[in-house]
Chain A
Amino acid sequence: MKQHCRGWLIVLLGLLAGMMADAGANDLHPDFPLLDASGRPVLLSGRPLSTMRTCGECHDAQFIESSSDHADAGAAQIGSGGTRHAWASGPGYFGGWDPLRYDNPATADGSVDLDAWLLAFGARHVGGGPASGQVEMDCLMCHSDITEPERREQALASGDFAWANSARLSVRGIVVKSDGRWQWNPFMFQPDGTLNDGLLEIRKPRDENCAQCHGQTEVALDEPLTLAPDPARRTLTDRTGQVISPQKLNNSGLNLAGKEALTHAFDVHADRVVGCVNCHYSLNNPVYFQQRPESRPPHLDFDPRRLTNSDYLTRPLHQFAKGHTTYGLAAVESENSLRRCESCHDATRVHDWLPYKERHFESLACEACHIPQVYGPALQVLDWTLVDRDGLPRRQYREVEGDPTTADSLIHGFRPAMLARENVGGKRKLAPFNLVSSWYWLAGDPQRPVSREQLVQALYPNGRLDGDVLRALDQDDDASLTGPEWRLDTPERAQAVRERLEASGLNNVQLAGEITPFPISHDVVNGQWATRDCRRCHGADSILGTPFALATFLPGGLEPVLIGAANPGGLGVVGPAEGGGASFLPDTRSEGFYIIGLDGPGWVDIAGLLMFFGILFGVTVHAVARYLARRRRPLQHRPMRRVHMYDAYERIWHWLQASTILLLIFTGLIIHKPHLFGMFSFAYVVQMHNVLGFIVLINAALALFYTVASGTIRRFFPKTEGFVGRALAQAAFYTKGIFAGEAHPLEKTKANRLNPLQQITYLAILNILLPAQVVTGVLIWGMQKWPLLAAALGGLPVLAPLHTLLAWAFAAFIVMHVYLTTAAGETPGAGIRSMISGWEEVEVHAGEAGPRSLDSTTEEASHV
């Protein structure tokens, strides 16, 4: 009776499930009998489902398995080296090791204990490949509408490898486990061994299928997304914080800070119904297949000789387009085969608002601005040095208060670190990363990570924490470890655990710490939410100028080492963080990036400041001395005459140049140190600086033409005869005579108004300083127009500091120049006034025809 009831219940459940599964079913896939390994319908044989046999009736299952990176999981590369850790057998999921999954099924001789590996990692493996003897490749994991992994996981974890793939079907009641035995449910089958209509849909993989292993997703819009408690179920999310879901952040079940304002989807592509397989497509899918440039004749954009659909359906490559991962080194041959942003988007058409568009595209991956903040909980620290009784490490999540899987946590989201990532074509661009720091114990000879079991046995010998360790860690002597006591934050405390591990029989115990960089390329936002603020990168307070937090303390005092292919150039340095622990400070210059407003050798500013304040100091002393001297001597009047010294054009030219140069220095200072001038819009100031620069350039060019055409250019060139004498006389005047109230040593006329010192100065300024400043400025402005030209001259790392240094020189010149105008006339303001009015009163010098009337002087002067 009981059996009977259960049967009906199962039928009912099955019908219900069938009805639910029916929505949007794949009409094209034919019905098929479920077969066992010998090819008999499971309904008749009662044996486990063989996916290879069942699907292999039509599809070339052998081909699929042999091409599948997911099945192989890096097993083919075992023994070929390329591992980052000496104790790992291979670089991939199978036989590989990283501190995030920690358990190491590799044996000392380099082989992998398959059973141990399946127990630990089988749930996240599709089967087949190295596991094919035990667990077949589970086609239904990716191609069916049963996307709940739990039943298969449970079967694998209990060592029931043979039935693991069949167990998935128990969700729909197709197979049932009663009294420890799996039985196929005859109510679910047609007599020929096919399943009842609508019970199981076979289809292309959807995001839910991928999410079983890869990370957190929620495709329904109205079911608030919550985190899976088990980090192994959300690997991608755990590593990077990426949540691939169309759901808007404010509609999710995550307790996000400032959630109400976050009205965009976690991932714009998921929002726009771009599924995982749209970018991570099968490499011979005729819809997506693109021949690599290197294997394609240069004249051919598109090869129309495609696989037919039937060819593809028979032998679909199960090698999928992928990006460039740092943690898995498996499937290197399909590295960067992925559709990148540029494969679908023509960014140049919608970024006209972006200043220096090409330049930015040259140095920044799209993700750098379009993944401004990641909101899923991402690991920051994984500390295996002190595990709990269950052998679980301390996990610290980035910008999360509390345990992210519980409702009382608060998730702030984090700004990713910027590291250089190699893109297709070898171009290195800044892209977002998460950096996970982990610490763990090594022991033995050769050293291997101390297993969880060994850790638990050593630390909890009788089920309780070892007394010595407890005493070493228990700061408040209350015989229990709470809060911050639960950490090995000093070498002494680490030593206590090390001794404990050694006492438990381990030798050669050593602490290791590493930082794994994980690239972030999902959770993209559209332009409305992307970074538009230049100051996010430009400036000392930007993400490139400020440290990226790694850890609040260093277990055992050991600074972790950055590993991974993404960072061979060392785009930053790990160093102590403020308040303890460690942080990562980006170093963009070492990678050849030069970020205006952030990078720049410090000596330039030091030299500039010395020059500027040196001169300021000099003229101040000079001025004070002059003032004191003047007070001591009687006022004397000399015979003077008024001369029309400066033409209207010259005056306009002078003041235009003066204003633009002052504005240039000011705007330049803002661009140079944007964090000191937070109230100015960086983009606006840059544009203004460029416009002002061109005004100076044009003004200077016009003046050159004017002075050449009018011949007045000659006044800049010193007369060689007696030059030294006149120069010395002028110098003597500034150093001595001026204090004694002497007259200017040299006569100043319209034609000959520059003294020798001025001539030298102006020759230097107009022939060296100004052209150099204009040329460096134009080259910097033109970085995106003629990048090769600028690069030939050393690029920004040379041009920008030079431009800055010259700007300091200009600033210093202006101080000197303005000061010396006070020495030009009888009163300090007379010099400046003459540049405004054009008229200057100059001393009448010997050799002249004596004082004349003002009028006649005027007359004469105006004809010079």
Chain B
Amino acid sequence: MNDSRNGWIAGLVFILVLISVPVWYFTRSEAVAEGQTIDTPWDFVPGRAEPVDHSSLFQQTFATGQEVTRACLQCHENAGEQVIHTAHWRWQADPVMMEGRAEPVSVGKKNAINNFCIGIQGNWASCTSCHAGYGWEDENFDFDNTDNVDCLVCHDQSGTYLKGKAGIPAEGVDLLAAAQSVGLPTRENCGGCHFRGGGGDAVKHGDLDQSLYYPDEELDVHMGRYDFQCIDCHRTKDHVIGGRAITVSVDKANQIACTDCHSERLHADARINAHTATVACQTCHIPRVARKEATKVHWDWSEAGDPSREENVHEYLKIKGSFVYEKNLKPAFRWFNGLADRYLLGDTLDDDGITALNPPLGSIRDPDARIWPFKIHEAHQPYDTQYNYLLQPVTSGKGGFWSEFDWDQALRLGAEVTGLPYSGHYAFAETEMYWPQTHMVAPKTQALQCRACHCEGGCLDWEALGYPGDPMRWGSRDRVHPVGVASSPTGAGR
């Protein structure tokens, strides 16, 4: 009797299994509708460490930034040693071999020349207000002294910390409050320097400006919709922060990519997936440069020093010359394999007029290269007409152009600092810098549509990219043979 009592339960289970297993098996495909993507980005987003409340750990008064640092290093014993090997501290990368150069090149903000404020040499105190350290005011700064590491600039969460000349905390900053507030770096910490590159909001990058402190999702889907912080993508280990920019780097070790989290063929649409081998994600998903704040696209140093002109921070400043700012501009598209060439101090200028200081590398024939969006910044900056190279003027430094408005003197002083001879004859050369666009990713509904590039009227200069014509009709790079085609005439027709 007992057997049959238990038996009916077994029978019931058996019957349920007999029915439910085949039902489940044959209906499970129903759940997988076409169009579902294999993209699971959240699986790759690292969690954020829970910050430790430091408010009870510090009671003493701090007279200098260095005192704070020493207090930090008491517990975070390795932190100082870690920081002093990073690019944020050294402003110079480890030497790497560059194509076309015999010697390894070690380049960074420390020695590079750009076409904004030109370079830091001779102008340290002004430029190093954004250095993650204290007291870099000349070439004698000690890069091995961990006391000078500025912990607070990245970790302060009080929002009151401010750096002045040579990176020294500004007058009146409450160092104790700052020290007590420390936590993981937020957009405010990174943005304090990076949103203001070039000496003001939105000047340099085109995709980084102060609108990213409180972005809406239209501006930046990661930060606006999901409240990403910079370090969610710029993952950091031992104070080495991920991410490289071709404006200061010539290698791409420790670079970041969309595909760190996103699947490369994530689009539901096969036609779009067919683009990912040749087109960077950024090209479609960052439809415009500087969507919120206007960014600088042109800087003419040659007009600086005119006391009669009216000053306006977006058009003309006596100390800097004239500018053009643009907003919501169409990016320039170039092949880019993640590396760039680099104009180094002393290199001769290009003969054909414009010298590119960091031209992106890659071509239609480079399988690693994709078409990327760039902001191009053009400038007229001083060069030596006899030696035919760019010169590093002293601008903010003592006796520099910003106080004396004397180019000859500024360039002479600059030459003393860099050791690069100055003939005494200068003029202004046309240069350009390439700024790859990678932040300010728009929601997918605002991604570029086909016709942004493929249209009958010619929306994109395909021939400049090495195609014989629009690849929609002429075929992608694996089908076309661009030898000799790129030079085909583009004469004006009827």
**Chain A residues proximal to chain B, CB less than 8 Å:** 22-31, 195, 197-202, 206, 219, 221, 246, 248, 250, 263, 265, 271-273, 275, 350-353, 355, 526-528, 532, 648, 651-652, 655-656, 659-660, 663, 681, 683-684, 687-688, 690-692, 694-695, 836-839
Contacts and interface: CB of A to CB of B under 8 A. Distances in A.
A527 B34 CA distance: 8
A681 B30 contact: yes
Interface string B460-494: 00000000000010000000000000000001111
Contact of B15 (A28, A250, A655): A655
19 contacts: A22-B493, A25-B492, A25-B494, A198-B493, A221-B449, A246-B451, A263-B445, A273-B451, A350-B34, A353-B29, A527-B268, A655-B12, A656-B18, A659-B19, A663-B19, A681-B30, A687-B30, A688-B27, A695-B22
A23 B494 contact: no
B313 interface: no
Given A272-B271, A691-B26, A838 B4 contact: yes
Nearest to A220: B451
Nearest to A261: B445
Interface of B: 4-5, 7-8, 11-12, 14-15, 18-19, 22-23, 26-27, 29-30, 32-35, 268-269, 271, 445, 449-452, 454-458, 472, 491-494
B455 A648 contact: no
A292 to B, nearest CB: 27
A201 B494 contact: yes
A273 B449 CA distance: 10
4 A-B pairs with least C-beta separation: A24-B458, A25-B493, A27-B493, A263-B445
Contacts of A25: 492-494
A837 B449 contact: no
Contact of A648 (B7, B23, B32, B33): B7
Chain B contact residues: helix, strand, loop or mixed: helix
B4 A837 contact: yes
Contacts of B32: 353
A271 B451 contact: yes
Contacts of A691: 22-23, 26-27
B494 A29 contact: yes
B494 A200 contact: yes
A22 B449 contact: no
Nearest to A526: B269
Given A197-B494, A683-B30, 13 more contacts: A27-B493, A221-B451, A273-B450, A353-B29, A648-B11, A652-B14, A656-B15, A688-B23, A691-B26, A692-B19, A694-B22, A836-B4, A838-B4
Nearest to B269: A526
A29 B494 CA distance: 7
A814 B181 CA distance: 75
B14 A528 contact: no
Chain A contact residues: helix, strand, loop or mixed: loop
A26 B458 CA distance: 11
A124 B269 CA distance: 38
Nearest to B470: A273
A271 B271 CA distance: 12
Nearest to A685: B27
B449 A271 contact: yes
B30 A22 contact: no
A836 B8 contact: yes
Contacts of B493: 22, 25-29, 198, 201
A684 B27 CA distance: 6
Given A221-B451, A838-B4, A22 B445 contact: no
A381 B479 CA distance: 53
Contacts of B18: 656, 695
Nearest to B22: A691
A692 B271 CA distance: 39
Contacts of B19: 656, 659-660, 663, 692, 695
Contacts of A694: 22
A695 B29 CA distance: 19
A29 B492 CA distance: 12
A197 B4 CA distance: 100
A263 B443 CA distance: 11
B30 A31 contact: no
B279 to A, nearest CB: 15
B11 A655 contact: yes
A253 B452 CA distance: 19
A681 B26 CA distance: 15
A836 B3 CA distance: 12
Contacts of A201: 493-494
A248 B23 contact: no
A121 to B, nearest CB: 29
A691 B4 CA distance: 30
B269 to A, nearest CB: 7
Contact of A839 (B4, B15, B268, B271): B4
Nearest to A29: B494
B104 to A, nearest CB: 46
